[in-house]
Structure 1
Amino acid sequence: MKLSNGAVVTPVTGEEAEDLLKNFPGYVDGLVRAGPSRCLLPTAYNRFAEEYINFKFRSSDVVIVTYAKCGTTWMQEILWTMCHNPDLDNPDADLDLSIRSPFLEFDCMVDVLTKKNGHNSTLVKALQKRDPAASPDAGVFLGLTKVAEDPRIIKTHLPFSILPLNLLDTCKVVYVARNPKDALSSYLHHHRLIKIHDYQGTDDQFVDYFINGQLLHGGYADHLAEAWPLRGHKNLAFLFYEDLKRDPDAQLKNLDAFLGTGLTDQQLDNVKNRTGFSNMKARMGACVAVDGDAVEGMGVTALFNAKAAQEGGFYRKGKAGSWKEDISEKNLAKIDRYIAEQITAKMPDLKFSYE
């Protein structure tokens, strides 16, 4: 399958497909690879690919582009609060984050769960309140992205090569990178507790999948390689998760200047406190109202499996350097070799902090 921007989509087949299905039983409809970086995605991506490539971004949009588990949700809350709630008085502040800051391609990721359980009724209700003519079958998350309040704060894990070619010339983009060791550690936890993946393999196997680009959204090094050369573009802010943890005040001021939000010191303090790890984790566990309906855990707990509570839930540690507790010496040697060969050798000026 060839897309309108020239990108090619190919199915994952044979022994590789069998192996992935064995260890990731959530992928029952199969997987495809898309674009020059061979980004791994569920087969349902084929239905939405042209929508993503030709999505009509606006000059007022702020798009968060990340590899998974690199601080995406944190950045969503930060940017939405900066743009929509700096005085902490917005009545929509406790709405499901999927409504306030939609995940562009999430329809293709939850397609299997949707077929089994139906659409999330709360999100459908929120979508149709904003667009009564919207059809859930055309994509609930895609629809929510289209009708989000301006300035839209939009999340995606897709690499630049399968996003609109004019993205950076149209709107502002915030790319957040995290050191690969912590990203891997967090992604392993994520795969074990989220039904989309339902990972059944070992830690050792997961490290190999990470190194070989066999996780959803493909290889981390490939994702970085598409973003790092663009860092000089006036509409791209390239941030590091570790810098945001180390000095949030400085990073928030930089984001304020980049976005042109013109926040006061008090408003920046409001943003920092509202989006602190403990506050976000507490809100995740709270029961909140979405368009009049009570929804536990901001609407995401339906994605969790039985292991989630045992392993700390969606927000687990929220710190830099946790890889030291989670990665064995044997696997650390593999990861160090991967970083040296796939990241440092190809992007020598890209430096990570490992705390």
Structure 2
Amino acid sequence: MPRQVTIMLSVQYVNYRDLLLPPIAHTKESLEFAENFSVEDTDVFAVTYPKSGTVWMQEILPLILNDGDLTQIQTIPNWDRTPWLEETRLAVVVDQLKSPRALVTHFPYHFMPASFHQSKAKAIYVMRNPKDVIVSSYYFHQMAGFLEDPGTFDEFLDKFLDGNLVFGKWTDHVKSWKHNNLGDRIMFITYEEMKEDLPAALRRISSFLGKNLSDETIHTIAEHCSFNAMKDNPMSNFSLVPKIYMDSDKSPFFRKGKYFTSSFTFV
């Protein structure tokens, strides 16, 4: 039986197994669909805590899996080409996804559907320095109409440290994926590694996915997955989203794309 889903009217968030989720994109139906989703052995999941490189991976994975073919990133919005497991759009586009399918999720490890654990599907966990996650999240809360007002930065910082934000506590999320039994089905990489040397990161990811891409293809992917290229791509920059949901006048979705330090590693 599907687990109970309730709406917390006071903050307008969906409470799913004690995990707060943004409304509109997350519904009782979408979460039931995620629970019962039939994961295929060839599926690839990019896993992130919010504001840790999700949209970047939505650009990277289709390009790697399709040998650098630019068609998807130029014609299909990122939420449809690499949909979120837990969001409403997956049920709409799932039949259009071709194998190997690329998906993203903000779910902690133990929230993944049973079929994921029973499959040979792969996961790429991208971690970002929490100092940058906090800043990026703070500005995102200012522009996203489906998230509560962040208040002052100090107030927001307290919520972040206490885990009183969507998708819970950052440390809990990281630990849930770090301590798993997936073996060679999971790869860990940091946002900072990707910023420092994207071609090298792309080679690591492509090797993990069993793709032997040429240097020319890696260069093409890196070029089209740069901050400026994605910022200018209407299929990737969320400019197609109505202003009521994402108001770029309050804060641009693609702000700076910078990072605090390059020395942060998994523990």
Q: TM-score per shorter chain, which class?
A: 0.7 to 0.9
Give the aligned residue type for 2:241. V
Q: Is the 8 A contact 2:60 2:221 kept in 1?
A: yes
Establish whether residue 237 from structure 1 lines up as the match of residue 190 from structure 2. no
Establish whether residue 31 from structure 1 lines up as the match of residue 14 from structure 2. yes
Runs of at least 5 residues in structure 1 that lack an aligned partner in the other structure: 22-26, 108-139, 289-294, 323-348
Give the aligned residue type for 2:77. D
Give the aligned residue type for 1:40. L
Cα 1:315/1:96, change in 2 over 3 Å: same
Distance 2:179 2:33 in 1: 26
* Equivalent residue number for residue 62 of structure 1: 44
* Equivalent residue number for residue 101 of structure 1: 82
* Equivalent residue number for residue 299 of structure 1: 240
Partner secondary structure for residue 94 of structure 2: helix
Establish whether residue 220 from structure 1 lines up as the match of residue 170 from structure 2. yes
Q: Is the 8 A contact 1:104 1:156 kept in 2?
A: yes
Q: Is the 8 A contact 1:66 1:156 kept in 2?
A: yes
1:224-257 alpha-carbon deviations (Å, 9 max, x no partner): 1110113861111111111111121221111111
Q: Is the 8 A contact 1:192 1:200 kept in 2?
A: yes
Cα 1:146/1:198, change in 2 over 3 Å: farther
Superposition map of 1:210-289 within 5 A: 210-230=160-180, 233-284=183-234
Q: Is the 8 A contact 1:175 1:239 kept in 2?
A: yes
Q: Equivalent of 2:34, from 52, 60, 81? A: 52
Structure (1 or 2) with the greater helix fraction: 1
Give the aligned residue type for 2:99. D
Cα 1:170/1:266, change in 2 over 3 Å: same
Q: Equivalent of 1:144, from 85, 89, 93? A: 93
Partner secondary structure for residue 59 of structure 2: helix
Q: Is the 8 A contact 2:44 2:123 kept in 1?
A: yes
Give the aligned residue type for 1:315. F
Distance 2:255 2:237 in 1: 18
Q: TM-score, normalised by structure 1?
A: 0.66
Cα 1:78/1:192, change in 2 over 3 Å: same
1:164-195 alpha-carbon deviations (Å, 9 max, x no partner): 13425331111111111111111111111011
Deviation of the 1:300 alpha carbon: 2.6
Distance 1:155 1:265 in 2: 26
Cα 1:146/1:208, change in 2 over 3 Å: farther
Partner secondary structure for residue 75 of structure 2: coil
Distance 1:194 1:39 in 2: 19
Matched residues, number: 261
Give the aligned residue type for 2:259. A
Deviation of the 1:201 alpha carbon: 1.7
Cα 1:260/1:281, change in 2 over 3 Å: same
* Equivalent residue number for residue 59 of structure 2: 77
Runs of at least 5 residues in structure 2 that lack an aligned partner in the other structure: none
Instruction: Please say which of residues 45-54 and 170-179 is displaced more in the overlay.
Output: 45-54
State the identity as a percent: 28
* Equivalent residue number for residue 103 of structure 2: 154
Q: Is the 8 A contact 1:102 1:154 kept in 2?
A: yes
Distance 1:273 1:61 in 2: 25
RMSD over equivalenced CA pairs, Å: 2.7
| Greater radius of gyration (CA) | 1
Cα 1:303/1:226, change in 2 over 3 Å: farther
Q: Is the 8 A contact 1:195 1:305 kept in 2?
A: yes
Q: Is the 8 A contact 1:104 1:145 kept in 2?
A: no
Q: Is the 8 A contact 1:157 1:217 kept in 2?
A: yes
Distance 1:54 1:247 in 2: 38
Distance 1:47 1:319 in 2: 36
